[in-house]
């Protein structure tokens, strides 16, 4: 399969003289509303040639200290990833990079690619052609890391969700694992041992791999303001820990509730990070992929900041990243953030778009404008070291076993027949190929 034959469709340039408004709605049943959208038409920047990058995707000039592995560093007022060769690196990735081999499509996987190796080579070529430099959460990292010409990749472990399943306190929810009473069993006996065993089993083979950026410990754990109240009623070691926290403090107050949330996540990140670093001491710990409730929960960011190298956030609900959120997250944690999920759905895809958290727009070109608007704000912030689009491929609507948040929704850069959404991908390529010139322009303005 030759991607280049179907990808090079032009995207109409936005009128730089007037603001661009894109029709969007928060859900498919809502009303269209034009939303002001910033695009590359507002900038005088040019794409950078391939020769200006290291083999890992960082800038080849003005290199920083090379350690042989990815790391993070604050240079002046801006945070960066630093690639194994010392190149300054902004992680523009795609989630769920994996071959779907059981689709109800007219052309099955085997007919298109023939083998996983062929899929990998074609897919990584597709990503490189459009300026993406790695794989995000829920990707098939074993297949990706075996590529002849690999790209940087991440691993998603699911330590708390795995332990919760082991002790029988989990259930399925849309988009993530649910826990009984929305309480994570971090204080239950055996959690630390479980984490150590899982990390040894799943990560040992990657301990010397420079293409591994880092590890996500979990995905979208519950964060409840009344976590203390819930744990005081939970029973077992969980309740005992909450009672020990309350000893001598009198009645439960909002201040104590906030303090306890931070205590819970401090224990969580301490245990999971120590387990990961016992196996991978030179790779990045990227957090637990926070989601909605974490946006304003200072305690979880403070806890993550003590233990993680960078903090991951699945960021929805806003057409543009909020400057105040990005400022607060850095103020609370002292660490850079990595946006690990965002997307928008197009009604011209033929899909119902009734599930999922992302915005709904009219066309694939509109999806491309959204991508540019969203990532421009992240680059402007100086505290964000990258982003991962969710996701590689639309779900197959005929697959009723998929996660409830991924049914009949246009999230992919490809449809369920492996056909690229050319207008979206072209807008992505335009932005991704200009990341570093845009950074220079933003930094010169302030």
| Full strand arrangement of the beta sheet holding 284-285 | 153-156, 212-216, 284-285
pLDDT tens digits, one per residue of 287-315: 999 999 999 999 999 999 999 999 999 99
Mean pLDDT of 59-71: 97
Contact between 418 and 126 under an 8 Å Cβ cutoff? The reply is no
Tokens for 403? 């996660």
446: confidence class by pLDDT, cuts 50, 70, 90: low
Helix (H) or strand (E) holding 135: strand 134-135
pLDDT of residue 10: 39
| Full strand arrangement of the beta sheet holding 88-89 | 71-75, 78-82, 88-89
Q: Rounded to 5 degrees, what are φ and ψ at 412?
A: -80, 165
Distance CA 322, CA 138 (A): 26
Q: Rounded to 5 degrees, what are φ and ψ at 88?
A: -75, 125
Helix (H) or strand (E) holding 52: none
Strands 176-179 and 170-173: antiparallel
Tokens for 27? 């859900």
Q: What is the DSSP letter of 308?
A: -
pLDDT of residue 398: 77
Distance CA 96, CA 168 (A): 27
Contact between 170 and 179 under an 8 Å Cβ cutoff? The reply is yes
Strands 284-285 and 311-314: unpaired
pLDDT tens digits, one per residue of 378-432: 999 999 999 999 999 998 877 777 777 788 999 999 998 899 999 999 999 999 9
Q: Is the pLDDT at 328 greater than 90, yes or no? A: yes
325: confidence class by pLDDT, cuts 50, 70, 90: very high
2: confidence class by pLDDT, cuts 50, 70, 90: very low
Q: Is the pLDDT at 151 greater than 50, yes or no? A: yes
Give the global pTM. 0.95
Domain borders along the chain are 4-445
Architecture of the CATH domain 4-445: Alpha-Beta Barrel (3.20)
Q: Is the pLDDT at 108 greater than 70, yes or no? A: no
Separation in Å, CA 441 to CA 42, 125, 382: 12, 29, 12
pLDDT tens digits, one per residue of 237-272: 999 999 999 999 999 999 999 999 999 999 999 999
Q: How many CA atoms lie within 13 A of 34 on its CB side?
A: 4
């Amino acid at each position: 399969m030759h991607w280049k034959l179907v990808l090079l469709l032009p995207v109409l340039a936005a009128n730089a003289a007037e603001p661009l408004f894109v029709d969007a709605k928060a859900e498919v049943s809502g009303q269209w509303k034009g939303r002001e959208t910033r695009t590359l038409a507002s900038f005088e920047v040019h794409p950078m040639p391939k020769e200006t990058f290291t083999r890992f995707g960082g800038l080849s000039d003005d290199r920083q200290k090379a350690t042989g592995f990815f790391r993070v560093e604050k240079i002046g007022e801006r945070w960066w990833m630093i690639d194994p060769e010392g190149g300054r690196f902004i992680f523009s990735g795609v989630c769920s990079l994996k071959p779907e081999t059981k689709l109800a499509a007219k052309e099955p996987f085997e007919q298109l690619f023939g083998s996983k190796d062929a899929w990998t080579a074609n897919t990584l070529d597709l990503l490189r052609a459009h300026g993406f430099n790695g794989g995000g959460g829920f990707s098939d990292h074993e297949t990706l890391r075996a590529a002849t010409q690999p790209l940087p990749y991440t691993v998603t472990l699911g330590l708390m969700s795995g332990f919760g399943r082991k002790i029988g306190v989990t259930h399925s929810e849309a988009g993530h694992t649910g826990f009984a009473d929305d309480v994570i069993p971090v204080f239950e006996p055996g959690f630390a041992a479980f984490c150590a065993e899982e990390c040894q089993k799943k990560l040992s083979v990657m301990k010397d791999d420079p293409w591994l950026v880092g590890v996500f410990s979990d995905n979208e754990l519950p964060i409840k303001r009344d976590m203390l109240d819930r744990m005081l009623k939970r029973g077992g070691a969980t309740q005992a820990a909450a009672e020990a926290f309350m000893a001598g403090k009198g009645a439960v107050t909002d201040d104590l509730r906030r303090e306890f949330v931070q205590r819970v996540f401090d224990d969580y990140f301490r245990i999971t990070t120590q387990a990961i670093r016992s196996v991978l001491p030179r790779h990045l710990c990227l957090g637990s992929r926070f989601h909605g409730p974490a946006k304003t929960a200072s305690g979880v960011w403070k806890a993550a900041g003590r233990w993680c190298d960078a903090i991951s956030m699945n960021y929805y609900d806003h057409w543009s990243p909020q400057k105040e959120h990005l400022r607060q997250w850095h103020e609370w944690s002292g660490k850079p953030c990595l946006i690990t999920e965002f997307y928008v759905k197009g009604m011209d895809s033929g899909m119902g778009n009734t599930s999922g958290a992302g915005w709904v727009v009219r066309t694939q070109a509109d999806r491309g404008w959204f991508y540019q608007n969203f990532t421009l704000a992240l680059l402007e912030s100086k505290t964000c070291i990258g982003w991962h689009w969710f996701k590689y491929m639309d779900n197959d609507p005929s697959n009723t076993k998929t996660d409830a948040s991924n049914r009949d929704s246009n999230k992919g850069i490809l449809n369920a027949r492996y056909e690229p959404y050319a207008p979206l991908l072209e807008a992505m390529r335009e932005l991704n190929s200009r990341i570093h010139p845009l950074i220079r322009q933003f930094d010169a303005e302030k």
